[in-house]
Structure 1
Amino acid sequence: MARKPGWPCAVLLITGVMALMLGGLALYGRHAVLDRSAFADRATGALAQDEVMDEIATRIAVRELEANPSLAARRPVLEAAVGDLMREPRFPGEFHAGAKTLHDALFGDGNLAVADDGSGTMRVRVTSLVLPGAGRELQAAVAARSPAAARELGPGDPELFSLGGGRLESGLVQAAPHVRRLTSLAPLAILLGVVLLAWAAWRAPTRRLGLRRVALGVALAAGATVAATSIGRAVVLSTFDTSHGDAVVGTIWSAFLEDLRLWALALGALGVIAAAAFEPGAPGTWRRLWATVAAPSGSALRLVRAAGLVLLAALLLWMPEVPLDLALVVAAGLLVFSGAAEVVRLAQRSLIR
């Protein structure tokens, strides 16, 4: 019997893993970002961090001063009143409502959103985070400390930020309404990935080897997701030169993407355990795999290794915490694989006896 060529199986495996990974990312995006309530809940959860609350207080005070320069002489009164506002039990609810309005503006089909300014409704910029109802409370808090300052305070609800200032940011804002339609293909992508992986396993020399390859492919996709979140977080935080900014952005990043990293770690662990269960191999198999990676045969694999070493050197110079994080994840994966494989071998021996 002629031996089946190996490249179709490799193409099926790689394509299936990519489809599964893209479908999983789209499904997570629909759950964590595109869902209106989940988006607002995650954004509001960031208020538990003191640095986030300090940043919001600073933004409210600065924007009020920019809108009403006459308040500059009464800045201490304004800042104290903003503190009173943020200690109100209703403030998280107002922030939650503002996050929902921002979500509608970003991912809805319209160009305008509606907010309450205390005297009715008003049209606000589509990509602004406005705190509906907070304007009345801020007015009352300032009046309680200084009636004269309250008279100089402008009407309307506080605005924390607006999106769309630069070319990249504006492009992302314009593309946001189309994201929902693209992510609706997530179930189809996942189904396609499962079919392609099943086909790759069926074409393998043995079913056990095919299933092991599929499990390792899923584990590698999960590992790539973990690496992407680690590198992305480090890149974003590198644009801030203060610990305060790092804490604020890091909290927001974790609120929306920390679950993705945890799910990827869990999926990667299941993948390596499944690979060990399907075909554990002889003790020390991972050493031979490491030797193959360290000294690959063939020009293509050597070029891939060279590119990987250059990337690793760049990461060590730019953001040294990322290679350390990834090294710990890889080491944990090897330990889980070795432990699971040993358990499977012992179980097989006990069944034979």
Structure 2
Amino acid sequence: MVGKACAGLLAGGVALLVLGALAFYGRAVVLDEQAFADRAASVLTQDEVQDEIGLRLAGRAIEDEPDLAQLRPTVEAAVADAVQDPQFPAHFRAGTQAMHHALFSGGSVDLVLPGAAADIRAAVPERSRALALLSREDPSLFHLGGGGVESGLVELAPDARRAASLAPVAIVLGLALLILAALRAPDRRRGARRAALALAVTGGVLVAATTIGRAVVLSTFDTSHGDVVVGTIWDTFLGDLRLWGLVLGAGGLVAAAVLEPGARGAWRRPVTRALAPCGTPGRLARAAALVLLAAALLWMPEVPLDLALVAAAGVLVFTAAAEVVRLSFTR
């Protein structure tokens, strides 16, 4: 059994490691201007993303000049040609870089596509009336900060950059707590196994966070086209975080199996205790977990199924590693 103090150290270590991993990943992928622009430009390989950008640009052009509504097919065709032009990714990348800089420097946050206006006009037939109506100013794809929540997030962006600089501190403190928890164990092997399992839990939390977050975001869109576009953007920026979690979780499970494989089926005992806890607090926690699971199954059924598959894969990895270790010791 794990004592309360040891359990507290393990829980604190996992929490700090999760926060540190999120901050470190955010620094590498979101806060870095070049990395952000590179990933943003890479989504243009998806046809649905190109279609969405084309529809937005054509719609904004008609909003700015209502007379273009009668020439919508011409405008949409010209915009589609400009978006599919080999030069467009460079315009898009330059625009995302400028938007990123404005976001973290406290300026107005607009995704303006430099050079796109000239490309759109060049794609319009010379004798078309649309050529005289189209603006020569570079179009803005969208503006951040239109609502209360969105404006609040924009205002917090500079603070997020400063907070992310503490990522190494959080990771070091998290590892220190796991080491302290390991030192409180009856022996070093069992302590190291607890720390390894805590690392596996950290990976599991990262996987769960990305899975649930993706499902929540996609639930706000009611069309398959919107799901594809948003899903592509999410996977481009946060797909690697899920991979990090899977690798960390698998590594922690393998390390735990190597440190103390136990007898066949030994992993079932802690699972059984978790599913059938003793005492009022444990039973209340189980009841709350079951309610949350039921709500998730009704709201976004793919999330529990996905996490169940990940958990099953973790059990298989742990069992396989433990079996290999047991075979090695019996020889």
Name the SS of the counterpart of 1:248 in structure 2: helix
Tell me how far 1:202 sits from its aligned partner.
1.0
Asked whether the equivalents of residues 77 and 145 of structure 1 are also in contact (C-alpha less than 8 Å), the reply is: no
Asked whether the equivalents of residues 50 and 84 of structure 2 are also in contact (C-alpha less than 8 Å), the reply is: no
Question: Structure 1 CA distance, aligned partners of 2:119 and 2:41?
Answer: 19
Tell me how far 1:147 sits from its aligned partner.
4.3
Asked whether the equivalents of residues 51 and 80 of structure 2 are also in contact (C-alpha less than 8 Å), the reply is: no
Name the SS of the counterpart of 1:88 in structure 2: coil
Q: How does 1:1-353 map to 2 (within 5 A)?
A: 6-108=3-105, 110-111=106-107, 126-142=108-124, 144-350=125-331
Asked whether the equivalents of residues 77 and 146 of structure 1 are also in contact (C-alpha less than 8 Å), the reply is: no
**Structure 1 segments (4+ residues) deviating >2 Å:** 5-8, 144-148
> Residue type of the partner of 1:259?
D
Over residues 257-311 of structure 1, what are the superposed CA-to-partner deviations in whole Å (9 max), with x where a residue is unaligned?
1000011001000010011111111110122222212211121111111111001
Structure 1 residues 301 and 146: alpha-carbon distance in aligned structure 2, compared to 1, 3 A threshold: farther
Tell me how far 1:8 sits from its aligned partner.
2.2
Question: Structure 2 CA distance, aligned partners of 1:188 and 1:329?
Answer: 29
Which residue of structure 2 lines up, in the alignment, with residue 114 of structure 1? none
Asked whether the equivalents of residues 30 and 183 of structure 1 are also in contact (C-alpha less than 8 Å), the reply is: yes
Structure 1 residues 56 and 146: alpha-carbon distance in aligned structure 2, compared to 1, 3 A threshold: farther
Question: Structure 2 CA distance, aligned partners of 1:294 and 1:8?
Answer: 22
TM-score normalized by structure 2?
0.97
Tell me how far 1:145 sits from its aligned partner.
4.6
TM-score normalized by structure 1?
0.91
Figure out how many residues of one structure are paired with residues of the other and give that number.
331
Q: Name structure 2 gaps, 5 residues minimum.
A: none
> Residue type of the partner of 2:208?
A
Asked whether the equivalents of residues 234 and 319 of structure 1 are also in contact (C-alpha less than 8 Å), the reply is: yes
> Residue type of the partner of 1:69?
P
Over residues 218-260 of structure 1, what are the superposed CA-to-partner deviations in whole Å (9 max), with x where a residue is unaligned?
1112111111111111111111111000000000000111000
Percent identity over the alignment? 60
Question: Structure 1 CA distance, aligned partners of 2:304 and 2:3?
Answer: 33
- RMSD of the TM alignment (CA)? 1.4
Over residues 96-129 of structure 1, what are the superposed CA-to-partner deviations in whole Å (9 max), with x where a residue is unaligned?
0011011101112x42xxxxxxxxxxxxxx2111
Per mean C-alpha deviation after superposition, the further-off stretch among 29-38 and 293-302 is: 293-302
Question: Structure 2 CA distance, aligned partners of 1:237 and 1:203?
Answer: 44
Q: Name structure 1 gaps, 5 residues minimum.
A: 112-125
